[in-house]
Structure 1
Amino acid sequence: MSPAKFKLSLLPTLQGKTFLVTGGNTGIGYATTLILAAKGARVYISARSLTKANLAISKILALHPEGDLHSLILDHTSLSSVVSAAQKFSSNGKKLHGLIMNAGILAVPYEIKKDDFESQMQVKYLGH
């Protein structure tokens, strides 16, 4: 038996829907953003760096020029950055239909962040 193949055409249109993908500039987050854009969704890519978010947007727009993509600066290691990003998103007046909580860190040394939480706890849980 051969493995199942993913078919983008089987997914419904996401026209008029808004998604936020944390860590949407690389890896699984990027792949998710690419699919959402291909299906017509408005997608906000959060990343720690505006340059990295905009680079991902440029790459996706090269494949899907009709994409409705936006960057959102969000550093999960800073709770003030999380609050700022939430306020910025809320001010756009768009309803959020889906949140892909992809941002994370792995196998980093134990570290207490400036908000007094361990880095993995803050990035993976509190920052989302």
Structure 2
Amino acid sequence: MTSRFRVFCAALLLLLGGCAGPVAEVTTIPAEEAAWRAIAPRLPGMPVGEIEQCAGPPRGISPAPGATTLLYRSQDLKNYCQVALLVRDGRVLSVTADYAAPEFLYLRDGSNYCGRIFQQCLR
């Protein structure tokens, strides 16, 4: 094999694998996705103090009519999860989540980023 061919093959592998390539966190993805599926239905009704203890403070707070919205976000590159918790009287009323994982082919949908935010809330 010529060295040019080896360089070409290496470049092709990098392109096919994505810029970042496989990362050590790949093994945590199933647990993070499972954490999101488990915690999402439990968030409505939870006290805000309990959520802040396990998930940390929100990244943003914005007023809503008769309530407050707490924003939580986890992101790397273009992969992300943003969760908005509508809160009234210190308890979560509703949850909306927006997530995507366009950077890595081995991620199903990006919900693992939501799981990263709230994984400690399951303990």
What band does the TM-score fall into relative to the shorter chain? under 0.3
User: Larger % of helix: which?
Assistant: 2
State which structure, 1 or 2, has the greater radius of gyration over its C-alpha atoms.
2
User: Larger % of strand: which?
Assistant: 2
Between 1 and 2, higher relative CO (CA 8 Å, sep ≥ 6) is seen in 2
TM-score, with structure 1 as normaliser: 0.25
TM-score, with structure 2 as normaliser: 0.25
